Amino acid sequence: MGCFTHQQLCRKRILNNMNRLTILSLAMLLLGTFHYASGQELKLNKLEYFEKQGVNVLVYNNLFTGGFNDEKNAGIELIHHGVRTAQGGAVRLSNTPEQWDLVPDISNRKVDRASNNIEATLRYKDYDFNSRVVVTPKGKGVEISVYLDKPLPKALEGAAGFNLEFLPSQYWGKAYLMDGRYNRFPRYVVGNTVTRPNSEKPKQFKGYNTSDDRGTGKFIDPLPLEKGRSFLLAPDEPSRLVKITTQDADLMLYDGRVLAQNGWFVVRSMLPAGKTGKVLTWTVEPNAINGWVREPNIGFSQVGYIPAQQKVAVIELDKKDKPLQTASLYKVGEDGNATPVYSGKISSWGDYFKYHYAKFDFTSVKTPGIYYIQYGKFKTNNFLIENGVYDKITDATSDIWIPIHMNHMAVNEGYRVWHGEPFKEGYRQAPPNTDHFDLHAQGPTTDTRYKALELIPGLNVGGYFDAGDFDIETGANISVVQNFVRTWEYFKPSRDQTFVSQKQRYVDLHRPDGTPDVLQFIEHGTLNLVAQAKIIGHMSQTLSNAVLDNYHHLGDAASLTDGLPYNPALGPHEVAPDGKSSGVKDDMWAFTSRNPGLDFNAATTLAAASRALKGYNDSLAASALEQSKRLLIEATELLGKRPQDSLGRRGGSNIATNLQLYISTREQQYLDKFQELLWPALDRNVTFTLLTALDAIPHLDAAYKEKLRPYVVKYNDYIKGLEKDNPYGVPIGLGNWAGSGDVMNFGTTVCFASKYFPEIIDASHAFKAAGYLFGSHPYHNYSLVATVGATRPKAMFYGNNRADFSFIPGNVAPGLLFRKPDHFENYDDWPFFWGQNEGTIAGNTSYLIFGSAFKNVIK
C-alpha cells in the first residue's frame, strides 16, 4: 500500500521538477519585476510627498481626525498606479485598529529638503507618549524609521507598534510571500483570534470598547496570519507588488476584518521595551511598472443625453500621456453592429491637480440611438441619445431609498424585508454630562422633565434614518421635511408607488395606495418632529444608540435592539416572565440638551409642513402649526438672551428661516428680518445665498426681483469662473466630505435662476451638474446615483447594507473625495468610506429637488 509503481515515481519526479521550475520562474519573475523598476527613485516633490511614475508615498499629508479618529484616510499612504492602496502608517496601539481606537496627534511635521526626508512627531497624550517617524527615499522605495526619545511607557509595552494598512479589495485573491513561504490573501476574513481580559486592552477613545464583550469581561484579539522579516505582497500583480523588509522585529500580517468589516490588512512590528533612539526601521519598496501610464478616464453622462443639449466628454489623462488629435462616436445599429457616425477634434483644457484634461464635443450628433465613444484604443460603455433619458432620474430615490429609511416602520419589497419595525421599546433620557461616539453630548442637565435613563414615551414614531446608521439626527430630519415641502409646493409630484400605513407601521414598495408619496414622506417626518416638540418640549439633538456596538450595527434595524424596555431588576440576558422587559441595556437614548436655534428651524419647518398637510392630515397639520408657534416664541426668547456675534446674530435666526416663516404666516416682521439679513449675506457670498433669495420671488413684488438682478449677474460671473477653475465647470469640494451636495445645490440654483432670469442665466449650465453626477467627473466615469445610469452606475455604497458590498437603489454618493494634496478618489470596490460613498437623508432629498427642477427645465 505504501509503495509507488515505476510510473508513479516518474510522475512524482516530473511534478517535483515542475514545482521547482515554477518556483524558479516566479523567483526570476520577481527579480525581473524589480529589475525593470530599477533606476526609478522616489523624489520629494513640491507638494511635499515622494513621487515617481506610478508611485506616490504621502507622509502625513492627511492627518488623523479628532472626531471619528481612524477614518482610514491618514498617516503614511501609498497611491500605487493611480489607486490609494495603503494608509494608516503610524505608531498605533492595536493590532488591527478600529474606528474609535486612539489615534496619534501629529504635533509636528517637518519637510527637510536638504536631507531629503519628512519627519513627523506622533503623540498620544493619554499616555504622555511621543514618537518620531522619519521617511527617507532609499533605492526603489522608502526607509521608515521610528525614533523614541524616551522608552515606551509601561502601559504600552506589548501594545505599541508600527502599522501600515493595505486595502483588502486591492489584494484579496492575490499571493504573498513571508520569508519565502507562499500564501494568498483571503477574499473573506478567515483569521484566528483569542480572547483577553479587558484590563489588558489599552484605553480607547472616550472609554468605549469597540468590540462588545457581551458581559464576558474579555475582548477579541486577532492573531497574525504570518510572521517574518521579509514580506512580499502581490508578486502575481505587478501593479500592486510591494516589498517590506526589516532587521529589527518581526513583520506580522493581520486581517483587520476579523473585528470589523471595514478593517484592512495590517502589517505590524512591535516597538521594543526599554529602548530609545532609532528603535525600528522598515524598508518599503512599491513596484513601479516601467513605462506605466494611467489609462484615460473618459467622463460622460451614463444616463445619456437629450438630442438638443450640449454633449461634451471630459477626458482625464496622465500628464505623461499625450492627448490624441481626435475621438469618434459610434452608433450601435439594430443589427448589433456599430458604425462610426462622427469624428471630432480633441481640445486641451489644461492641468487640474494630478492630471491633464481634454474635451471631446459631439453636440452636433442629435439622432436618437445607442452610442459609445472611441478614444484611440479605449472604448466606453454605451449610452443613449433620446428625449426621455432624464425622465426617471429620481424614481429610484423616491420609490426605494427614501421609504427604506423610514424609521419605526417595517419596510417590505416583494419577497424581501428591508427591515422590521425598529425600536419598539422607545427612547430613554440620556444622562447628563454624557459624550456620544457620534459627536453628540448631553449637557449638565436633561433640559426635560425626565430623569436620567427614564423612558420618554411616544418618541418612536415617524422620522428617517440619517444615513448608513439607524439614528435620527433631528437637524437633518428638519431639513428633510423642508426639502419634501419644497418639492411638493414647487412641483406637486403625483407619483404614487409606495404603500404607507402609519396605523400598521408598515411600508410596502412598488404598491400604490392612492396618495402621492411625497405627501406621505412629509407626514412621516412631521410625526417625529411634532412628537419631540410635544413630549420633550423642544427638539432633541439626536435619537441614537447608547451602546457603540449597536451604533455600528449592520443588518436589520429591528434587530439592533431586542425591542423590550430595559429592566434593571433583571439579569443581563434575562427576560421578564410577562415578556414585556429585559435585562439587556440596548435601549436607544434621546439627547435632549436644548438648542434654541434648532427649535427655531423646527418652527419654520413645522409651519411649512402644516401648509402641505392641510387637507391630507388636518389634525397633524394643526399640531404642527401649534407647535411651530410655541417653539418660535420660546426660541426667540432664549435666543434673545444670547450675546450677538460680529454680524449681529444670536445663533439661530437665519435668512431661510425668516423667509419660510413669512410664507407661512405673512407677518411683516419676518419679511423685514429676511430683507435685513439677505442683502448683506448676498454681498458676502452670492453663491451660498442666491437659491434662498430666488425662493422668495413668487411671494414678493417686482421691485424685489429687480433688486436681486445684479446678484444674479454676479452669480453668472461665478459660473464663468467655474469653467476656468476646473474642466467640469461645477463647484468641486476639497473637504473631508465629497462635493456632490455642492454640485446639486449649484444645479438647483441654475434651474431656478434660469427660470426667473433666463436673459442672464443659461439653463444649459444645469446639464453640467447632471453630467457630473451621472459620470463626467474625476477618477472614474460611473454614475454617482445607484441604479441611475443604465450601463455603469456605482455598484457599492456606504449604506446600512454596506457589509454586503452592495447598494440601496437611489442612493446618491458624496462623490469624489479629495485627498491632500492632489488626489481625487471614489472607491467602487470598497464601500466603507462614508465621505465618498455614504448617502444621507438630507443629501438624497436635495437630489430629489435638483432632479425635479432639472426635469422641469427640460420640459
Half-sphere exposure of 649 toward its Cβ, with a 13 Å CA cutoff? 13
Residue whose grid cell is 484579539: 221
Using CA of residue 825, residue 829, residue 833, residue 837, what is the dihedral sign? Answer: positive
Using CA of residue 317, residue 318, residue 321, residue 322, what is the dihedral sign? Answer: positive
- Residue 777 identity (one-letter amino acid): H
Are 802 and 401 within 8 A, CB to CB? no
Residue whose grid cell is 430630519: 477
Instruction: Identify the CA nearest to 101 among candidates 195, 201, 197, 169.
Output: 201
CA separation for the pair 602, 605 (Å, rounded):
5
CA separation for the pair 343, 360 (Å, rounded):
9
Largest CA distance in the chain: 105
Three-state SS sequence of 382-429: CEEECCCCCCCCCHHHHHHHHHHCECCCEEEECCEEEECCCCCCCEEE
Task: Report DSSP letters for 135-174, one per residue.
Answer: EEEETTEEEEEEEESSPPPGGGTTT-EEEEEE-GGGTTT-
- Residue 649 identity (one-letter amino acid): R
Strand ranges inside 54-155, DSSP E: 55-59, 76-80, 83-92, 105-112, 117-124, 129-138, 141-148
Residue 97: all three cell numbers together: 485598529
Positions marked catalytic: 829, 838
CA separation for the pair 607, 355 (Å, rounded):
49
| Coil, strand or helix at 505 | coil
CA separation for the pair 801, 797 (Å, rounded):
8
**What separation in angstroms does the CA of 227 have from each of 58, 177, 224, 251?**
26, 10, 7, 5
The 10 Å CB-count burial string (b at 16+, else e) for 138-170 is bebbbbbbbbbeebbeeebeebbbbbbbbbbbb
Residue 759: all three cell numbers together: 436673459
73 DSSP 8-state letter: -
Three-state SS sequence of 582-595: ECCCCCEEEECCCC
Burial bucket for residue 702 (CB in 10 Å: 0-12, 13-18, 19+): exposed
Are 427 and 459 within 8 A, CB to CB? yes
- Give the list of residues 6+ apart from residue 198 with CB closer than 8 angstroms, or none: 209, 213, 217, 218, 219
> Does the N-terminal peptide bond of residue 516 adopt cis geometry, omega within 30 degrees of 0?
no
Phi-psi region of 51 (alpha: psi -120 to 50; beta: other; left: phi over 0): beta
Half-sphere exposure of 269 toward its Cβ, with a 13 Å CA cutoff? 23
